Amino acid sequence: MERIDPRARSDAYGNRINRSHSTFLATVVPWGSILLASILPLFPIASALPLLPPLGFLLLLGWRLVRPGLLPVWAGIPLGLFDDLFSGQPFGFAIMTWSLALIGIEILEGRLPWRAFWQDWFTAGIVVGVYLIVGWLLSGATPNIHSLIALVPQLVLSILLFPILSRIIARLDRFRLHRWRTI
C-alpha cells in the first residue's frame, strides 16, 4: 500500500495506525495558549508607555477566526476574567469586551459565512482597534489626547502581528490534533 501511496496510512496529523489524538491536548491547547498570552505582556519590559499589543485578546481573536467553532461563544467570560487579573485595566473590562467581541464575530459570521484570510485580518484589525480605543476610554484614568496618540504604535503592532499569530495558531492547531502513539 505504501508503495502506491506513501500517505495512505497517515494524514496531516501523523500516522493513523496505532495512533490517535489526545483529548487532553485537543481541549487544553486553545484555552491554555490564550491564558498564557494574557500573562505574557507582564514579562518583557517595564515600559513608561503602553507598547505591547494585547496578546491575550489577539490570540482569542486568532483562535476564533482561524478555527471557527472551536471556542464557544461564552469563552470570553472565563478567559476575560483571567486577563483582568493581569492586564491593568479595571476589573470586568476584559470580561465585557471579550464577550462582546465574540458575540459580534458570531453575528458577522452569520452574514459572511465564506471568507478569505484577508477578510479575517480586516475583521481582526477593526476589532482590535475598537478594543484599544474602548480600553483607552474605560481605563479608569482621564482620557487625554496624548495617551490616545501613545496608542498608535500599539495598534499598528497589533494589526501587523495578527498574520504571524494566525500562523502560530495554525501550528498550535496541528500540535493540538497530533496523533500520539497508543497501545
Partner 1 sequence: MAPTGQRRSGYSRRAQYNLFTGYIIAGIGALIGAVLLLLSFFQPHLFGGLRGAATDGVSPATETSATVRTGSKSIWDSISGYYRAGSKNAELKREMEIARIRLAEAQAVEQENLRLKALLGLREEDVEPVAVTRLVGSTASSTRRFAYVGAGSDQGVEVGMPIRSPRGVVGRVLETGSESARILLLTDTESVLPVRRARDEVVAFAEGRGDGLLRIRLINLGINPLEKGDLFVTSGAGGYYRPGAAVAILVEKTDDGGLARMVSDPAATDFVSIDPIFEPEAALAVDTPTETELSD
Q: Among 1, 4, 46, 183, which residue interacts with partner 1 (rule: CB under 8 A)?
A: 46
CA-to-CA distance for 34 and 7, rounded, in angstroms? Answer: 33
Rounded to 5 degrees, φ, ψ at 25 are -65, -40
39 part of the interface to partner 1, by CB under 8 A: yes
Q: Among residues 25, 130, 151, 155, which is the contact residue for partner 1, using CB under 8 A? A: 151
Which residue carries 483607552 as its cell?
Answer: 136
Furthest-apart CA pair in the chain: how many Å?
70
For residues 93-103, one letter each, b for 16 or more C-beta atoms within 10 angstroms of the residue's C-beta and e for the rest, the string is: bbbebbbbbbe
**Which of 10, 19, 31, 68 contacts partner 1 by CB under 8 A?**
68
Q: Considering the rule CB under 8 A, would residue 33 count as an interface residue with partner 1?
A: no
Per CB under 8 A, 124 contacts partner 1: no
Residue spans of alpha helices (H) in 73-150: 76-87, 93-111, 117-137, 145-149
Q: Binding to partner 1 by residue 108, rule CB under 8 A?
A: no
Minimal distance, residue 84 CB to partner 1, in Å:
8
The residues of the shown chain that bind partner 1, judged by CB under 8 A, are 39, 41-55, 65-69, 72-74, 76-77, 80, 84-100, 102-103, 106, 109-110, 113-115, 120, 135-136, 138-144, 146-147, 149-151, 154
